Amino acid sequence: MTDGLTIPEAIRRIFGVDVATESPLLKNKAMSLERNGLIKSSRTKAVERSSIMIGVDQLTPLHNALVLNAVFSDPKQVKKIFTDRTYRTECAQILKKLFGERDSLLGIALRTDAAFALSEALDSNWDLNDKRLPNPFEQLPQVALGKDLSVLQALLAQASTLAPADSVLLAYLKGDLKRAAELVDACGFPPESEVGLLGHHIKAKLKEAADFDDLLDMLRKS
Amino acid sequence: MRKIALISLATLALLPLDAQAKSDPFTNNDSAFLIESCREAVEIYQKRDQQNLLAGIATSMSEALRAGFCIGVVQQHINSSDNCYGTDWLEAASTIAALSVTTRWNTRKRLLQEAVCDD
């Protein structure tokens, strides 16, 4: 009998999420973090197959790693935040620009004071292995978005360096109308503003494209 | 007066005088236009199958209009005779799209009879 936890048990204890039913993605991310050495584990010598067990002392780093992973989707990046001070500071700046004045990100509600506190914590000497970071997400994006995490990544990559209005325009010009429409919604521009009008135009184009799809489907059968 | 005449003459001289006028698609002889139109139609349906909304976003008005022309001509041919009943127009359009534009077809009707079905 060991006194460790399996990764699903650990996630249940930290976030109250049952990965088997709610988020295999979250479990996979946690396992990647164990594989790359950030989370320390031991393998039981069980009879049929060995399980990965982590100690209770790994719960805090795991919590922090998964919260950071919501924004920085590559487990390598997350490990680097723990180990490389300069990189950690850069990421803190990204978080500041990203969360800004927002109270939601792609429809996932943010606790704004926690969002601010998270970027401050990352910027400071906060011990990531010892103290749990403030979690700004009402629900972790890995759970909420599932396999659409790439949408969030794309959004973040844009938002981290561009003003929100630029992100919308960039997506539109690249022909990625869906993302442009999502960005308009996520950033909550007032409808009369220029970007709001652009958003309206984008949605009209998307509707037109959907109607075109329907027309094509109808013609195909005739 | 003479100045105006000279300028007009100069302008006329500069207008491109094509030996071939823009081909009229409604004559029986233009198979190249039909083949190209059917290529557009095939491409639009490829986009449709590739991803939702892609066809609507990535197709220009001209491409769509040409595609429509192909669809109309092919369906008209299929409906014109009992022999052709049941022919799938998109398959027919694909066959046409694969033809070479440099082949000389006598009439569009011959092209349709050989490539689609003989009415």
Residue B44: list chain A partners with CB under 8 A: 216
User: ipTM of the predicted structure?
Assistant: 0.71
Residue A100's pLDDT is what? 62
Residue A76's pLDDT is what? 86
Q: Which residues of A touch B (CB under 8 A)?
A: 175, 177-178, 205-206, 208-213, 216-217, 219-220, 222
Residues 53-72 of chain B with CB under 8 A from chain A are 53-59, 64, 71
Domain ranges across chain A: 158-222
* Shortest CA distance from B90: residue in chain A: A220
Which tens digit of pLDDT belongs to each residue from A163-210? 555 666 666 666 667 777 777 676 666 666 666 677 777 788 888 888
Which tens digit of pLDDT belongs to each residue from A124-175? 999 999 999 999 887 887 887 666 555 556 565 555 445 555 666 666 666 6
- Interface contact B90-A211, CB threshold 8 A: no
Residue A77's pLDDT is what? 85
Residue A219: list chain B partners with CB under 8 A: 71
Residue A92's pLDDT is what? 85
Burial zone of A178 (CB within 10 Å; 0-12 exposed, 13-18 middle, 19+ buried) = middle
SS3 (DSSP) at A105: strand
| Alpha carbon of A181: minimum distance to chain B alpha carbons (Å) | 13
Reading the block at residue B47, the tokens are 């986009």
Which tens digit of pLDDT belongs to each residue from B56-83? 888 888 899 999 999 999 999 999 888 8
Task: Give the integer Cα–Cα distance in Å for A151 and B21.
Answer: 50
User: Within an 8 Å CB–CB cutoff, is residue B52 touching chain A?
Assistant: yes
Strands (E), A89-163: 104-105, 108-109
SS3 (DSSP) at A135: coil
Q: How many CB atoms lie within 10 A of CB A62?
A: 22
